Structure 1
Amino acid sequence: MADIDDRWHRTGPDGTKHRTDRYGQGARWLLRWRDPDGKQRKKSFRRKADAEAYAATVEHGIRSGSYIDPNAGKILVDEWAKKWLDAQAHLAASTYARYETAVNTHILPKWGNVYLSSVKHADVQQWVSSLASSLSGTSVAKVHRVFSLMLGWAVRDGRLARNPAEDIRLPRPSPSEHRYLDHAQVAKLADRCGSYGLIVRFLAYTGLRWGELAALTVGRVDLKRRRVHVAESVTEVNGELVWGTPKTHERRSVPLPRFLVEELASRVNGRPSDALLFTAPQGGVLRVRNFRRAVFDAAVREVGPKGFHPHELRHTAASLAIASGADVKLVQQMLGHKTATMTLDLYGHLFPDRLNEIADRMDSAVRAPNVPQE
């Protein structure tokens, strides 16, 4: 049980009260308790009501197993951020790099010299709102997510009773507008890319991410079955190439149109299975920055659309597949999305509107000769 002591003492023959400042200026009430480890704890308060309220919290925490050491949160966010980042070795290198950038660029300048226990919900809300003046809604959400993950880790470590970054109102992200090329535009852009045109057509008709294309080996291209087996990805992080699994960590099989099979034959037949299908001019991994600088961006400036980048060929692949009659599950499998919901969130507007078709079928069923009419 927690004990509350009055820290006023009678010191004179006339009964005058004298306050000690041993535990802090103006503090009168002293709360003592033993934590779950049996260690003696104490905390002083100005008002008895505050001491009683805190005592109730302590006793409830001890009984329920949710007790938090008052000193556990006395660690600077700067130090905690370093501990948290060190524990994120399980992340993909590109994801880790994004988290590290968010920490160093946005979180530490604001919170680095603040104790974990001093981070308040209202202050986090004000900070998030201020970020919106210089960052897009999507970027603000990403920075907030990193901070919330970091504080959530502190909750699980017993340093905070709750996460002060939860239930924060985020700025509404601006909807991203995807651009899609049609078959004629793909052909025109590929033609302007010269010997690299096959890469443009490959991305536009398979939907592979750039890192998946760059890591694709000859042995994972099955021309007879017209399939590409996506099992690996390579990403450039701070100038270094990092190899790993695809974004969803799952392998998938992607279909090849027959015209691509014909074009790929010379790159596959007679080559070692571990050779890269597409390489840089001097050999080795083809990097997207070099590809854009050497070929792609110049072709885009000539034929458009303005600012078009290689990843938008993945969106193009989705639109062309949907236009050809592919259902959402097939598009999901081709693109390697984790769920069909993700596919619908991104490309649901491209699927044909079949509501009238359904209504017409029900109308026909009702009007059939064997359906009694009122």
Structure 2
Amino acid sequence: MTLKSCPRTCNYHRNTPQYEAAIWFLATTGVRFGEMIALRACDVDLERGRATISRNYIYLTKTPTLGTPKSGKSREISVPKIACEKIAPLVAMRAPDELIWQRPDGSPLPVSKTGGGWLERAIKRAQADGKDIPRVTPHGLRHVAAGLMVSAGANVKVIQRQLGHASAAMTLDIYTTLFDADLDSVAVHVDGLFSEQDQDKTTASDAA
């Protein structure tokens, strides 16, 4: 899935705002699904575009178990404006200690299972309408976010912190192809810096 695929898929969850918000949040922040559904209203700062990841739900059975993030440490992540806008109505509905994503009984949002989950259903409806959207799992949206961050030129340490990896080396190992593909753009940007310097010198010479 790509950034363009997100709104196309979300169109099939317009009547279920929390699913739409979940897709945007996962695809732009890179958090794990269990970390997202453990977020409470008090864990996000929409004005600053930040969220504190300090909890994580694990579905070993039908009933999720609440624990700590995989790294064992809490972290603060950046939340893009588009994701903040999507989750804002949900946050406004919740008390500070309530889950942002929840079932009618207040329990955590269920994981989207392959074959019939909420994400799978939206993708199938989009594909049935002729949309070119590949199948993806909630965890797959984490990789979409990583790709966006690399393309945006984010430092590997920043990406490591955002994704919650134990080390920058782990981030590089997992997404090495993304960073390799970004090497060409590095050369282009460096060439652009020298071109700007040459242009400045020419302008200064003409002015003299």
Shorter-chain TM range is 0.7 to 0.9
1:311 aligned counterpart, secondary structure:
helix
Match of 2:137 among 309, 313, 338: 309
Map of 2:155 onto structure 1: 327
CA RMSD after TM alignment: 2.5
1:197-236, aligned counterparts within 5 Å?
197-236=20-59
1:240 aligned counterpart, secondary structure:
coil
Structure 2 residue runs of 5 or longer lacking an equivalent are: 195-208
1: CA distance, partners of 2:44 / 2:186: 42
Map of 1:256 onto structure 2: 79
| Deviation, structure 1 residue 213 | 0.9
Match of 2:69 among 246, 252, 261: 246
1:322 aligned counterpart, secondary structure:
helix
1: CA distance, partners of 2:25 / 2:136: 16
Does structure 1 residue 269 correspond to structure 2 residue 92?
yes
Map of 1:357 onto structure 2: 187
1:4-19, aligned counterparts within 5 Å?
none
Amino acid at match of 2:137: H
1:102-251, aligned counterparts within 5 Å?
181-194=1-14, 195=16, 196-251=19-74
| Deviation, structure 1 residue 330 | 1.1
User: Identity of aligned pairs, percent?
Assistant: 31
- Cα distance change on mapping 1:188 and 1:357 into 2, 3 Å: same
| Deviation, structure 1 residue 300 | 2.0
| Deviation, structure 1 residue 187 | 1.3
**8 Å CA contact retained: 2:112, 2:118:** no
Map of 1:300 onto structure 2: 123
**Relative contact order: is structure 1 or structure 2 higher (C-alpha 8 Å, sep ≥ 6)?**
2
1: CA distance, partners of 2:138 / 2:172: 22
Structure having the higher Rg: 1
Amino acid at match of 1:183: L
- Cα distance change on mapping 1:285 and 1:292 into 2, 3 Å: farther
| Deviation, structure 1 residue 354 | 5.0
Q: Which moved more, 1:255-264 or 1:243-252?
A: 255-264
| Deviation, structure 1 residue 282 | 4.3
| Deviation, structure 1 residue 229 | 0.4
| Deviation, structure 1 residue 355 | 9.5
- Cα distance change on mapping 1:257 and 1:291 into 2, 3 Å: farther
TM-score normalized by structure 1? 0.45
Structure 1 residue runs of 5 or longer lacking an equivalent are: 1-180, 365-374
More helix as a share of residues: 2
TM-score normalized by structure 2? 0.77
2:153 aligned counterpart, secondary structure:
coil
1:21-60, aligned counterparts within 5 Å?
none
Deviations 1:105-131 (A, max 9, x none): xxxxxxxxxxxxxxxxxxxxxxxxxxx
| Deviation, structure 1 residue 209 | 0.6
2: CA distance, partners of 1:233 / 1:211: 5
2: CA distance, partners of 1:208 / 1:187: 19
Deviations 1:269-298 (A, max 9, x none): 363211001112443111104697352112
Does structure 1 residue 318 correspond to structure 2 residue 138?
no
Map of 2:198 onto structure 1: none
Matched pairs, number = 181
